[in-house]
Homo-oligomer: A and B are copies of this chain.
Amino acid sequence: MKWSNEQLLVDETLYFTGNGYIGLRGNFEEGYGTGFDSIRGTYINGFYETIDIAYGESAYGFPKTAQKMVNVTDTQDLRIIIGDEDLSFFTGEIIDFKRDLDIYKGISTRKVHWKSPKGRELKLTFYRMTSFVTLELALFKVTLESINYEGPVFFISGINGDVENYINPNDPRVASGHGKLLTVTEVKANEKIGSITSETKRSGHRVTTLVGHSNPGQVDEHLNKVEWAFSKTIRQGQTETLTKYVVFTDSIRHEEPYKAGRDLLEQALGLTFEDHASRQKKYLDDFWKYSKIRVKGNVSIDEALNYSVYQLLSSAGKDPFSNICAKGLSGEGYEGHYFWDTEVYMLPFFTLTNPKIAKNLLKFRYETLPYARERAKEMGHNKGAKVPWRTIKGTECSAYFPAGSAQYHINSDVAFAYIQYYLLHKDMDFLKAFGLEVVYETARIWLDMGHFNDDGDFMIHCVTGPDEYTAIVNNNYYTNAMAKYHLTWTVRLAKDLRDFDEDAYESLMERIQGSLDELSQMEIAARSMYFEYDEKLGVFMQDDSFMNKPSWDFSNTPKDKYPLLLHYHPLTIYRHKVLKQADTLLAMLLLDDVQMDVFERCYDYYEPLTTHDSSLSPCVYSMAASRIKRSHKAYEFFNKTVRLDLDNLHHNTKDGLHIANAGGAYMAVVYGFGGLRIKADGIHLNPHLPEELEGVAFSVNYGGTLIHVELGDKIIVNGELEVKLYIYDRPYVLKGHMEVNYE
């Protein structure tokens, strides 16, 4: 077996273990061979350092600082010494090697059958898990079975506070030169447990990392580092085991991280690895009840899909201080920032299957609303909130506004997720406590951003849509369509809250200085929203000037010039008809508000112009193709989506999983094949199964009721309680079991 450095880096990402709070990259505990790179990383969701943003030329309103996710104390270290030989799988001979991430147990394993250079044969298994039950907890277990060796064995297990973030000066998507973000302030250790507390200098956050083992060891304290040595004697056929308990606590969540962590560690040490594993299993059983997708007759796709779903769970923040990073907690790409990805690509999954997590994710935008209000002022708006394009703490972290702050659509993306959640779960408490406030505050920006032209059309100028291959355009279709939906629903939600609890409504309106007059302006703006339509083509234009651009010369663009953004100046890209990702079509899909013939013409128009240079694109095209019953295309794009990270299709999986794409894979099935939409009158299904698949099945949580949808020869729907839904726009009342034919 020959190691490939590239694949090792990819595997570090693919086998990462996370629970939404902690993320541990799948690094080898014992290290790598000489000359091998590794991105050794441990991340805490929402734990950041403040860094300066540098500009060659700055301007008013450019953010001066950004947040960056911190690589925290390394707890993966485990050296094993077999007699006089250091265990390293880069020496000797690998007889068998197998890695696995069991998404139903929430445990990753690495099994190695190894013969040392001196011929000592051993079988090792490395287990690790990050607990979904106790988010601060991670566990490592190693078992070592001797095949032919007899003699001493030493386990040296450590924690190391000397950590840095990963730097790659050649890739704008990874980092911008801030390596050392954490400083150790305190190290404590005895033979049972130890801890390292570190802090970030500028953001002023502390993190304590505590560690304990299944049995006491010989402690050795170094500068910023502690090691425990466990010395054993092993015989042929015998197995030795070590379990390491790790707890991370930080000052964002805990007033006294050390104290809180110490309590958690003590509790955790009271249980065996197996105890924790069984709690983990129980949590996941609940999770999979709603989340499992079954693909008939194709194990590889079934696995890949459920892997995606599991990674969504592993990445999603589960407290008010965190959300979902673009790369989850699996790598440092995009510096751990939260984007619109959460609302548009990931929340549909949670909203449909895990309303509790969904609600928490939604709440993040409420918690950070004060920053969004400040940002709105900086951007020249007297009222309202402007959601940051990328952030951890809530302030705008985008250093390139044409493809950053200019993406005003994020305001409506957030609102869209809020509205969808509300429509599905009819959660009035949600609406009252923060739902309407966020929707309203983000909506009023449109009244200021847009204006009425002489014909009474409401126009929105100088924005960038999801497709970043055009920038600072007028009347971007996606933006205008989402804003229209947003404004329309702001009015309706306001009415709903007034009907439900007038006092709450009045007090909110007073607090945010909202008014019926403003609501009526919103209604008019929504009704008058302008969309550029080309009569000759019968196609909605991505923006006012899109039609007039020359086409990109695709036939003379060699494959190695993709993604275009890495090979052409933005201006070269901007002035051509070329898309990085779906834009107009995405809005049409999410809102389901245009005639199918128009939709089909738009698909035919935009599809050949799209490079899919963004990982957010193929899943949308898969859904779009499903919508117009183009099976092969739908399946083809779905395949690119579902295998994107597993096959490293974008060549940067080493920097982390494309979590939005994981959400997109889910959507390609449920929104695509299932044709599911959440509308004012409930769930709609427009199923269409590609010929390439024998069948798929999924469940959704419809306001507390489980609905199971099976697409095979027929459409089979099962429900727990009586519920109304629409199939091919015809209403059905589901009672238990129902079968419908395809159209």
Cβ contact within 8 Å between B545 and A378:
no
* A567 proximal to B (CB < 8 A): yes
A544 within 8 A of B: yes
Asked if A53 lies at the interface with its beta carbon under 8 angstroms from chain B, I say yes
Closest Cβ of chain B: how far from A63's Cβ, in Å? 8
Evaluate contact between B459 and A567: CB separation under 8 angstroms: no
Question: Contacts A461-B545, A462-B575, A575-B462 hold; do A57 and B570 have CB atoms under 8 A apart?
Answer: no
Binary interface encoding of chain A residues 562-600 relative to chain B, with 1 for a CB under 8 A from any of its CBs, else 0: 000111111110110000000000000000000000000
Flag if B548 contacts A461 (CB, 8 Å): yes
Partner of A55 from the list B398, B399, B403, B567 (CB cut-off 8 Å) is: B399
Q: Does A56 contact B (CB under 8 A)?
A: yes
Q: What string of 1s and 0s marks CB contacts (under 8 Å) between A385-409 and chain B?
A: 0000000000000111111111000
A60 touches B575 (CB 8 A): no
CB distance from A388 to the nearest CB of B (A): 13
Residue from B56, B398, B404 in contact with A399 in the complex, judged by beta carbons closer than 8 Å: B56
In the assembled complex, which residues on chain B have CB atoms less than 8 Å from the CB atom of A402? 402, 472
Which chain A residues numbered 510 to 566 have a C-beta less than 8 Å away from chain B? 544-545, 548-550, 565-566
* Residue numbers in B under 8 Å from A461 (CB-CB): 545, 548-550, 574-575
B569-A378 in contact (CB<8A): yes
Does B401 lie within 8 Å of A570, measured CB to CB?
yes
| Chain A, 676-690, CB within 8 A of any chain B CB | none
CB pair A404 B57 closer than 8 Å:
yes
Given A548-B453, A572-B380, A400:B474 Cβ within 8 A: no
Say whether, besides A402-B402, A571-B472, A66 and B60 are in contact (CB < 8 Å).
no
Instruction: Name the one of B55, B60, B406, B565 contacting A565, with C-beta atoms under 8 angstroms.
Output: B60
**Bound Cα distance from A101 to B38, whole angstroms:** 66
Q: At the interface, yes or no: A176 with Cβ under 8 Å from chain B?
A: yes
Instruction: Say whether A570 contacts B56, CB under 8 Å.
Output: no
Residues of B within 8 A of A456 (CB): none
Question: Are A380 and B462 touching (Cβ within 8 A)?
Answer: no
A572 engages B399 (CB within 8 Å): no
Closest to A449 in B: B575
How far is B545's CA from A172's CA once the two chains are assembled, in angstroms? 32
Cross-chain contact A405 with B569 (CB below 8 angstroms): yes
Closest Cβ of chain B: how far from A84's Cβ, in Å?
50
Residue of B nearest to A400 (CB): B57
Q: Give the docked Cα–Cα distance between A81 and B66 (Å).
A: 54
> Nearest B residue to A530 by beta-carbon distance?
B548
Q: A234 vs B208: C-alpha distance in the bound complex, in angstroms?
A: 76
Q: What CA separation (Å) do A56 and B572 show in the bound complex?
A: 21
CB pair A400 B59 closer than 8 Å: yes
Contacting residues, chain B, for A54 (C-beta < 8 A): 54-56
A379 in the interface (beta carbon within 8 A): yes
Is there a chain B Cβ closer than 8 Å to A58's Cβ?
yes
Contacts of A59 in B (CB 8 A): 172, 400, 565, 569-570
With A and B bound together, what is the CA distance between A34 and B405 in angstroms?
45
Residues of B within 8 A of A406 (CB): 571
How extensive is the interface on chain A, given as a class? Answer: 35 or more
Q: Bound state CA distance, A453 and B62, in angstroms?
A: 36
- Complex Cα–Cα for A548 and B400 (A): 26
The complex places the Cα of A459 from the Cα of B451 at a distance, in Å, of: 27
Total copies of this chain within the assembly: 2
Residue A471 is within 8 A (CB to CB) of chain B in the complex: yes
Residues of B within 8 A of A404 (CB): 57
Chain B contacts of A176 at CB under 8 A? 55-57
Q: A55-B55, A379-B571, A572-B379 are in contact. Are A474 and B545 (CB under 8 A)?
A: yes
CA distance A353 to B705 in the complex (A): 87
For the complex, give the distance between the alpha carbons of A550 and B400 in Å: 25
Name the CB-closest residue of B to A404.
B57
C-alpha gap A566/B405 in the complex (Å) = 18
Looking at the assembled complex, report how far the CB atom of A300 sits from the nearest CB atom of chain B, in whole angstroms: 36
Tell me the smallest distance from the CB of A381 to a CB of chain B, in Å: 8
A119 at the A/B interface (Cβ < 8 Å)?
no
User: How far in angstroms is the closest Cβ of chain B from A399?
Assistant: 2
Tell me whether B56 and A472 are in contact (CB under 8 A).
no
0/1 per residue, A184-224, Cβ < 8 Å to B? Answer: 00000000000000000000000000000000000000000
Assess whether A83 is interfacial by the CB under 8 Å rule.
no
Complex Cα spacing A471 to B59, Å: 14
**B residues less than 8 Å from A66 (CB atoms):** 56
Contact of A60 (CB < 8 Å), options: B61, B545, B569: B569
Give the shortest distance, in Å, between A396 (CB) and chain B (any CB): 10
Whether A471 lies near B472 (C-beta < 8 A) is yes
In residues 34-67 of chain A, which contact B (Cβ within 8 Å)?
A: 53-62, 66
Residues of B close to A55: CB separation below 8 A:
54-56, 172, 176, 399-400
B61 with A569: CB separation less than 8 A: yes
A377 to chain B, nearest CB (A): 10
CB pair A61 B544 closer than 8 Å = no
Residues of B within 8 A of A549 (CB): 451, 461
Q: Find the residue from A59, A379, A400 having the highest chain B CB count within 10 A.
A: A59
Given contacts A550-B451, A569-B378, A572-B380, contact A58 B172 (CB under 8 A): yes
CB distance from A152 to the nearest CB of B (A): 53
Smallest beta-carbon distance A713→chain B, Å = 49
Question: Could you say which of B56, B544, B567 contacts A400, with CB atoms under 8 Å apart?
Answer: B56
- Binary CB contact string for chain A from 446 to 485 against chain B (1 if under 8 A, 0 otherwise): 0001010100000101100000000110100000000000
Q: How far is the CB of A390 from chain B (nearest CB, A)?
A: 10
User: What residues of chain B lie closer than 8 Å to A61, measured between beta carbons?
Assistant: 568-570, 572
A571 touches B474 (CB 8 A): no
Contact of A459 among B398, B548, B571 (CB under 8 A): B548
Q: Give, as a whole number of angstroms, the nearest-CB distance from A515 to chain B.
A: 20
Q: Which residues of chain B are within 8 angstroms of A570 by Cβ–Cβ distance? A: 59-61, 401
CA distance A49 to B459 in the complex (A): 47
Render A262-294 as a binary contact track against B, CB cut-off 8 A, 1 for contact. Answer: 000000000000000000000000000000000
Question: What are the nearest 6 A-B pairs in CB distance?
Answer: A56-B399, A54-B54, A61-B569, A380-B572, A462-B575, A451-B550
- What would be 9 A-B contacts, judged by CB atoms less than 8 Å apart? A56-B400, A57-B176, A60-B567, A61-B569, A449-B575, A451-B550, A544-B544, A544-B545, A544-B548
Chain A residues within CB distance 8 Å of chain B: 53-62, 66, 172, 176, 378-380, 398-406, 449, 451, 453, 459, 461-462, 471-472, 474, 544-545, 548-550, 565-572, 574-575
